[in-house]
Amino acid sequence: MTLWFVFSMMTAAAIFAVLWPLGQRRAVAAVGHDLRIYRDQLDEIDRDRAAGRIGAAEAEAAKIEVSRRLLTAADRQRSGIKPASPRDRRVVALAALIALPLLSTALYLLLGSPFVPGQPLAARIEAQQSPPLADLVAQVEQHLAKDPQDAHGWEVIAPVYMQLGRFDDAARAWRNAVTYGGSTARREANLGEALTAAANGVVTADAKAAFDRAARLDPNDVKSHYFLGLAAEQDGDKEEARRIWQALLNAAAPGAPWADFVRASLARLNAQQAPSPLADQSPGPSSEDVAAAANMNPQQREQMVRGMVERLAARLKTDRGDFDGWLRLVRAYMVLGERDKARAAIADARQAIGNDAEKNRQLDALIKSLGLEG
């Protein structure tokens, strides 16, 4: 119904545009009659000038205007243009009222689809979408099979392989991009990332070599330096990893999108070397708990730590004056990767310590070290 209502309003607007000029009731004199009137006006101006009723300037201006109208009427007479007669206006009005709606309806029935049900916007967009990603990948692969030295083609398909989880193919594509297109910091860093992903997150010797090449080509390349820090951490050189990541943060522009990720990695590294965030908690884990934790898989150990954190949070609800407990709780949430809960714990801690300047300073220092500013 809405569609037909819109069509009706559009038709009415078109008819109105045609009928409006025809509906103006203006008496149109014949061209010859106009010419006589204009000539009489010129004579009358001459008489008024001779009698002194108007000045010379007014008379000249009036004669120019009347002469202009006289010339226009004379042109119409020579060209044979005649005003529309009442009969002509009636014919046009009937055509607008009857023929226009009938013609538009006939055209819509012929060219349109009035009996097809409406289709949701999402379905129409889906119908117009590009071919599936797998088809596009196949097309690029066919092209590269014919022209394996097309460095740009390898560079285009490599990120797609990464998105699809085909890490070995991504590494091969980046190797070919380097081989046929030359070594750049971006290509080398992406090659190292693909090799690391293919090794389940372990920075292999080949991956580290690629990151080293990228860092030499561009000392400001963030990706290569981050993974070099990860390689140092995996090699057990925590101080080197901390130095690399802290240097990245020191050089980061305000609002850098990767800065939070590096801060989280640095916080994880600090948490590994710092005493357990629950070390002073009372009661703490027993010797049986420690022995049991040694035999747990990572998921079970995380569940155990979460249980301890929840007990600490519950205790602080009743013992809000334990400032060290609040600091441990914030660190614990950061170890678990729960930044929102860490921020909530900071807010609760501030309420608990009130205006104590020293404790507020310690809390601010913790916030800064964990990258929780803002």
Question: What single letter denotes the amino acid at residue 88?
Answer: D
User: pLDDT (tens digit, 9 = 90+) per residue, 111-135?
Assistant: 665 555 555 655 555 555 555 767 7
Alpha-carbon distance values, 143 to 136, 226, 318 (Å): 11, 34, 68
pLDDT of residue 218: 94
Q: What is the DSSP secondary-structure string of 67-135?
A: HHHHHHHHHHHHHT--PPPHHHHHHHHHIIIIIHHHHHHHHHHHHS-TTSPP--HHHHHHHTPPPPHHH
- Going along the chain from its start, the domains and CATH numbers come out as 2-115 (no CATH), 134-270 (1.25.40.10), 274-370 (1.25.40)
pLDDT of residue 189: 94
What integer is the mean pLDDT of 266-276? 69
Indicate whether 263 pLDDT > 50.
Answer: yes
User: pLDDT (tens digit, 9 = 90+) per residue, 53-80?
Assistant: 777 767 677 767 767 666 676 666 555 5
pLDDT of residue 294: 45
Task: Give yes or no for a contact between 144 and 157, defined as CB atoms under 8 angstroms apart.
Answer: yes
Q: Can you give the pTM of this predicted structure?
A: 0.43
The alpha carbon torsion through 275, 280, 284, 285 (nearest 10 deg) reads: 10
User: pLDDT (tens digit, 9 = 90+) per residue, 353-374?
Assistant: 888 888 888 888 888 877 777 6
Indicate whether 287 pLDDT > 50.
Answer: no
CA 82 centroid distance within chain: 61
Q: What is the DSSP secondary-structure string of 318-373?
A: H-TT-HHHHHHHHHHHHHTT-HHHHHHHHHHHHHHHTT-HHHHHHHHHHHHHHT--
Task: Give yes or no for a contact between 278 and 328, defined as CB atoms under 8 angstroms apart.
Answer: yes
pLDDT of residue 5: 62
Indicate whether 197 pLDDT > 70.
Answer: yes
Task: Give yes or no for a contact between 174 and 154, defined as CB atoms under 8 angstroms apart.
Answer: yes
**Structure token digits, residue 245:** 């990541």
**Structure token digits, residue 316:** 């602080």
- 28: CB partners within 8 A, 6+ apart: 83, 84
